[in-house]
Amino acid sequence: MNIQEAARQAAEEKRFMTRRNSAELEYKKVKPQNGATRCLVYRLDGLDGVRAWLPSLNDLQADDWIVID
């Protein structure tokens, strides 16, 4: 799915989103949300969360987004 569809579903279900082909990404698990912390980003192992995710053009154009726990 595209990023808009994944963000909507992940937010509604209070889950995370990632790219299916995310092996090259350091931070792979995105928690889409509004508010002071914006989108929180984690490694798949749950460690080292960071604020304010900055997606690349490739991320924005990709259609391989999925929703995960």
Read off the pLDDT of residues 9-55 as tens digits, 9 standing for 90 and up. Answer: 999 999 999 998 766 566 678 999 888 778 888 877 766 777 777 88
Output the pTM of the full model: 0.82
66 pLDDT more than 90: yes
Cα 69 to chain center, whole Å?
Answer: 11
- The number of distinct structural domains making up the chain is 1
| Rounded-to-integer distance, Cα 62 and Cα 33, Å | 20
62 pLDDT more than 70: yes
Q: Give the structural domain span for 26.
A: 3-68
